[in-house]
């Protein structure tokens, strides 16, 4: 079972979903803009990715530039910002077992299947 944090309006996210479907992967799709993760869930996801919270932030989003850019935020504050504004979460994210990967480029999601 693979879980995909997905934004249907994002072409990269749609491409990643298509790649996983072509591999007949059993999928759970989480539309994270409609159902944002809790701070605990997002922290767990960041740990699975093996990255710092700042590395999951979409820094080109206007909400980031207007409210957060240039501020020294703690990891907890970054997580809370992404939960409050899920558009800030990089996408897509695929999870399988105890592995997670950001699908940038979309083909990277296939690495989760290995």
Average pLDDT, whole number, for the chain? 97
Beta bridge partners of 4: 29, 94
pLDDT digits (tens, 9 = 90+) for 14-37: 999 999 999 999 999 999 999 999
If one counts every other C-beta atom within 10 angstroms of the C-beta of residue 90, the result is 18
pTM of the full predicted structure? 0.94
All domains in the chain, ordered by first residue: 1-32+91-114 (3.40.30.10), 37-89 (3.40.30.10)
pLDDT digits (tens, 9 = 90+) for 45-80: 999 999 999 999 999 999 999 999 999 999 999 999
- From the list 88, 101, 107, the residue with the least C-alpha distance to 2 is 101
Helix (H, G, I), strand (E, B) or coil at 28: strand
Catalytic residues: 10
Q: So what's the pLDDT on residue 114?
A: 83
């Amino acid at each position: 079972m693979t879980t995909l944090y997905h934004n249907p309006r994002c072409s990269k996210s749609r491409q990643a979903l298509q790649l996983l479907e072509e591999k007949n992967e059993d999928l759970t799709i989480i539309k994270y803009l409609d159902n944002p993760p809790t701070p605990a869930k997002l922290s767990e996801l960041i740990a699975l990715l093996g990255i710092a919270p700042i590395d999951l932030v979409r820094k080109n989003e206007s909400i980031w530039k207007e409210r957060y850019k240039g501020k020294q935020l703690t990891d907890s504050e970054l997580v809370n910002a992404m939960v409050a504004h899920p558009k800030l979460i990089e996408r897509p994210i695929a999870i399988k077992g105890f592995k997670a990967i950001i699908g940038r480029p979309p083909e990277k999601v296939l690495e989760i299947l290995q």
